[in-house]
Structure 1
């Protein structure tokens, strides 16, 4: 059985990502095959995981996906690895809401049967850190909290005092005190951390993190604790165990620095149902030939709006593709690209595909949270999504739709925790766009219906 460890935090911002990717690289240096996971709806951290391990990172989510699906994903991707490192989300017990463990790292650790190491920001405290860790350990006895890492430690002396305080706790191992180091802090911007492929996040940076952990962390003890995994028996979902034998259809996938937010399982599901995915860059490329569908995911189109607008031949090709009735699916950044264009915070406008009558405008206010989509019951003429189906996802965006959103047909009713449901899912011919990032594994038939819609187009050519 693969060993595994979950890296959780007392709260967001304690350094989970830095410690997780440094640990992944340090374990890889020992010759171990490391498989990474990220709890929660995060596209960015798995890109850092890939940079650290050379293997694709995968998302686990207790609200968007069932316990069985999460377990199946975990078992599938750990099958050929020595150890799994699972980076948590927010604080250990934080998730969908204040009174439920749904979507939390704690829930996921229990589902997968893996031990938890807690990261504490130890600035300006010593014995209080012990009180905090004891509280986390006792809050839910079913969570197997086995160790603690103190981060942002001020000095060697501070680290010694923390060790003395924390080693008195029963059943929680003190694994190390990581000194404060601005040189290995990952820069942030409006949608979170920078992607791993961007400036200063290459191998030298990750190696520096690994060096820091190798010097200050007891890796041997952590590896020993990771052996305490007690994973339930395999129970693979049908969609992961076999591929359908239908003829393939070609679906273009927009993928570059502007469009980089995709759940790997979404892409694999499309392939399982018979899609040949053809990646291209809306920043520089023409539209690939002989496509039967398009998938334009999320990302940072606002940062590349001028370059996207300058690729006029592609903009026109995508517009013509939509008007010709080919199935096109856009999420968040994809919605922005398919709109009239993007208006920056400074008021500059960049014209894009223009399938929908509205512009999108950047704002300083984030719209985020889990979202449940329920599709209308009369979508048969649209091809996809399915009639009267429910699928879960999340929203995370700073842009908003300007006047004109009410002039286009919608096929979604979207609800979220503590919020009134709203009409969404903008459609024109066979083009569908939404701010919601859907996780297709929550309802694989959504992916199936998209591919079948593309196949119908292929059969008519």
Structure 2
């Protein structure tokens, strides 16, 4: 059945990473909230860090929107579901406007999401050292794909108000919605996976107020809001079968400074499949809550390895749960926690759960980055042999085994730029760990299978 919904919306994109998209979305969110406008925020692409900023700023979960991982129907469904009670939605793009899964198409790009959601695009461009060239770049973005609805531009890192005036003159008739100066002392800190995860310290009231005031002072907020409200009515085919079942099991979800990389869609689909999600902290909680299975997401366990290793009561509880046959599913940082130990960048080793053989060794250089496709070679808690799904990798560590054991692997993964498959998916009974951050919209049967595995163990 065809439905229609009027959702005021804008999509903030740029010419690449590092142009300040996340900061701009945070500032715009606070500026519009100060006007009494209820804002929802979204993040294009597979990123797990930027959404923590938008969740913190809006006070509600920030959903990822990724065309390659999710497909059009799930992107629309996630967007509409999370936008219902909002007056305005702000979507942050990924990388540059046209960057995505392929150099030859808009698959997995911000442009693809803009087309699917008919979202007016405001392009943020680093204006450092530029005048008329800014207009040339803007013209290139406008004309590269006329189906992408670019409605305005913002200049970032301008040198002065005079610089902004020069840019406006050079841009005519293209709409320049303002110019933001550089404020390096107010920049959000970065580490090897991009920005630090948002915390109350990073996103302090003072920081949020600062970026709100910057947007109010340097941007045409009235015109930006007008652009958002002129977005066309969104027509969509309602996704069937998304009805939350009565809870039939309890799944523990690790959530603290060490583990917090989760796709919100995965958590929502677990709940719809009948799971009650019970959050706990592997750093701080001394005892595991009563659960029928565990979901250990990604994060920064290497930064909290001493605290994780010294929380011996919780380690024992998790080992006992594993010994009972309860399903445990872990991704990236969660896999590191399952391993025998984590060796940090200083060469110091910290004992971990030891439920998956092997030692996790951190390195100074990137080990894997990008989209992957997964094909299971044998049955796991996520489904029978032959189960397929899509995901993303971004890691600086390796799991090193004393000896290769073929029976440990349950996956074959294929990277986007390669036809070669490599073994992955470490298994030990009902334990499954992988470096792949899976997005379950690519295979909705997976959360159902995981819940069913927890039910079988419970019974």
Relative to the length of structure 1, the TM-score reads: 0.95
Q: Deviations over 1:61-107 (max 9, x none)?
A: 01101111101111111111111100000000001121121111111
Provide structure 2 residue ranges, at least 5 long, that are not aligned to the other structure. 1-5
CA distance in 2, matches of 1:268, 1:357: 31
The corresponding residue for 1:243 is 244
Q: What SS does the aligned partner of 1:63 have?
A: helix
Partner of 2:391: 393
Once the two structures are overlaid, the 10-residue window that deviates more, 383-392 or 326-335, is: 383-392
Q: Aligned with 1:49: secondary structure?
A: helix
Is 2:88 aligned against 1:83?
A: yes
Q: Is the 8 A contact 1:196 1:202 kept in 2?
A: no
Asked if 1:457 is matched to 2:454, the reply is no
Give the secondary structure class of the aligned counterpart of 2:69.
coil
Partner secondary structure for residue 317 of structure 2: helix
Equivalent residue, structure 2, for 1:125: 130
Aligned pair 1:108/2:108, yes or no?
A: no
Please list the CA deviations of residues 325-357 of structure 1 after superposition, one character each: whole Å capped at 9, or x if unmatched: 110000000000000010011110000000112
Distance 2:154 2:374 in 1: 39
Distance 1:198 1:303 in 2: 18
CA contact (8 A) 1:386 1:445 kept: no
Aligned residue in 1 for 2:66: 61
- C-alpha distance in 2 between matches for 1:374 and 1:239: 25
- Name the CA distance, whole Å, in 2 between partners of 1:21 and 1:405: 48
Q: Is the 8 A contact 2:7 2:234 kept in 1?
A: no
Q: Contact 2:48 / 2:261 at 8 angstroms: preserved in 1?
A: yes
Secondary structure at 1:406's aligned position in 2?
Answer: coil
Could you tell me how far apart the structure 2 residues matched to 1:106 and 1:129 are?
Answer: 20
Matched, 1:423 2:428: no
Offset, 1:383: 4.0
Q: Secondary structure, in 3 states, of the residue corresponding to 2:177?
A: strand
CA distance in 2 between partners of 1:359 and 1:10 (Å): 40
Residue 156 of structure 2, aligned match among 151, 159, 171: 151
RMSD: 1.3
1:439 equivalent in alignment to 2:444: no
The aligned counterpart of 2:410 is 411
The reply on whether 1:374 has 2:375 as its aligned counterpart is: yes
Distance 1:211 1:340 in 2: 49
> Counterpart in 2 of 1:215?
217
CA separation in 1, counterparts of 2:363 and 2:241? 39
Report the CA distance between 1:134 and its aligned residue.
0.1
* Counterparts of 1:79 and 1:272, CA distance in 2: 18
Question: Per-residue deviation at 1:458?
Answer: 1.3
How far is the alpha carbon of 1:239 from its aligned partner?
4.5
Cα offsets for 1:195-234 (capped at 9, x unmatched): 2215332222111111001000000011111123225423
Per-residue CA deviations over 1:170-210 (Å, capped at 9, x if unaligned) read xx311001011113211100111112215332222111111
Residue ranges of structure 1 left out of the alignment (5+ in a row): none
Distance in 1 between residues matched to 2:48 and 2:455, nearest whole Å: 29
Match of 1:321 in 2: 321
